[in-house]
Amino acid sequence: MDEYWMQHALDLALRGRCGASPNPMVGAVVLDPDGLVVGEGYHARCGGPHAEVHALAQAGGRALGGTILVTLEPCAHHGRTPPCVDVIIGAGIRRVVVAVKDPNPIASGGVERLRAEGIEVTEGVRSESGRILNRRWLRWVQDHRPWVTAKAAISLDGRIATRTGDSQWITGEASRSRGLELREEHDAILVGVGTVLADNPRLTRRLGLNPGDDVRRVILDSRLRTPNDAVVVQSDPEQTIVVHTSAAAREDRERLDAAGVERVELPADERDRVEIGSLLDYLGDLGIAALLVEGGAEIHGSFFDADAVDEIFFFVAPMIIGGEATVAVSGVGVATLEMARRYHFEEVHHHDDDLELHCVRPEDADVHGSD
Ligand SMILES: NC(=O)c1ccc[n+]([C@@H]2O[C@H](COP(=O)([O-])OP(=O)(O)OC[C@H]3O[C@@H](n4cnc5c(N)ncnc54)[C@H](OP(=O)(O)O)[C@@H]3O)[C@@H](O)[C@H]2O)c1
Instruction: Annotate 89-155 with DSSP letters as a single string.
Output: HHTT--EEEEEE----TTT--HHHHHHHTT-EEE--TTHHHHHHHTHHHHHHHHHSS-EEEEEEEEE
Q: Are residues 67 and 152 in the same domain?
A: no
Tell me, what's the pLDDT at 246?
Answer: 98
Rounded distance from Cα 307 to ligand 1 centre (Å)? 18
Tell me, what's the pLDDT at 371?
Answer: 47
| 242 falls within a domain | yes
Which residue owns the Cα nearest ligand 1 atom 9? 296
Write down the pTM of the prediction: 0.95
Q: Which domain holds residue 32?
A: 2-133
Q: Are residues 161 and 222 in the same domain?
A: yes
| Nearest atom in ligand 1 to 165's CA | 45
Q: Pseudo-torsion of CA 83, 85, 87, 89, nearest 10°?
A: -150
Q: Are residues 128 and 208 in the same domain?
A: no
Q: Are residues 215 and 345 in the same domain?
A: yes
Catalytic (active-site) positions: 52
Q: Are residues 27 and 80 in the same domain?
A: yes
Pocket of ligand 1 (CB under 6 A): 152-153, 160-161, 165, 167, 170, 191-195, 198-199, 220-223, 225, 269, 273-274, 276, 294-299, 302, 326
| 371 falls within a domain | no
Total number of domains constituting the chain: 2
| Nearest atom in ligand 1 to 302's CA | 32
Contact residues for 149 (Cβ-Cβ < 8 A; gap 6+): 136, 182, 186, 290, 291, 292, 293, 309, 310, 311, 312, 313
Q: Are residues 97 and 186 in the same domain?
A: no
Domain ends where: 73, 101, 133? 133
Q: Which residues of the chain have pLDDT under 50?
A: 370-371
Rounded distance from Cα 220 to ligand 1 centre (Å)? 8
Domain ends where: 78, 109, 133? 133
